Amino acid sequence: MNKARVAIIMGSQSDWPTMKNATTVLDALGIAYSKQVVSAHRTPERLVSFSHGAADEGSEVIIAGAGGAAHLPGMTAAMTHLPVIAVPVMSKALKGMDSLLSIVQMPKGVAVATQAIGDSGAFNAGLMAAQILALGDAELTQRLCDWRASQTSGVPLEVE
Ligand SMILES: Nc1c(C(=O)O)ncn1[C@@H]1O[C@H](COP(=O)(O)O)[C@@H](O)[C@H]1O
């Protein structure tokens, strides 16, 4: 099996219906990934061991999704040099605004690449991960450009 270049983590199993959207582009481009539940709040030791070990495990990019008081992406970024792409998961009470605001306002010196709330944000997180990996990978760049071209040609001109 291919080495996982992307590590997808989420605060809860309940985030998976959103976070699985991050796998669409990765699957289309043949990029291997891992997926696991890691919570800054509920499994803090797991968060520390994951974040400290991610680079040694071979991950090159981390996608972290969480909802509500979403501290997972920022805390992960605090403990690794790998780029962390964040997905604010839609919450029931505040429709994901809590997730977004608790992720996006990172203090200077610790960066998180925050995407849109919900399914589209998760989809674009996978795309962004692919774009980062493609920087040093000519074959992947070609597959990515082909994927982009097929997306473009799939947009109809005519309105029905
Ligand atoms: N925001 C976090 C963190 C964290 O940031 O560490 N851990 C879990 N959660 C979030 O709690 C929400 C409700 O979780 P449950 O559905 O398990 O009650 C989820 O969206 C999860 O990401």
* Gap between the Cα atoms of 20 and 17, Å rounded: 6
| Predicted pLDDT of residue 2 | 76
CB-based pocket (< 6 A), ligand 1: 10-12, 14-15, 39-42, 66-72, 89
Query: Which of 8, 10, 12 for mutating ligand 1's site (highest number of atoms within 8 Å of CB)?
Result: 12
pLDDT at 1 over 70: no
CB 134 within 8 A of CB 126: no
* Gap between the Cα atoms of 16 and 87, Å rounded: 12
| Predicted pLDDT of residue 137 | 97
- pTM of the predicted model as reported, rounded to 2 decimal places: 0.97
pLDDT at 152 over 60: yes
Provide the H-helix boundaries in the chain.
Answer: 16-19, 23-28, 44-53, 72-78, 97-104, 119-134, 138-153
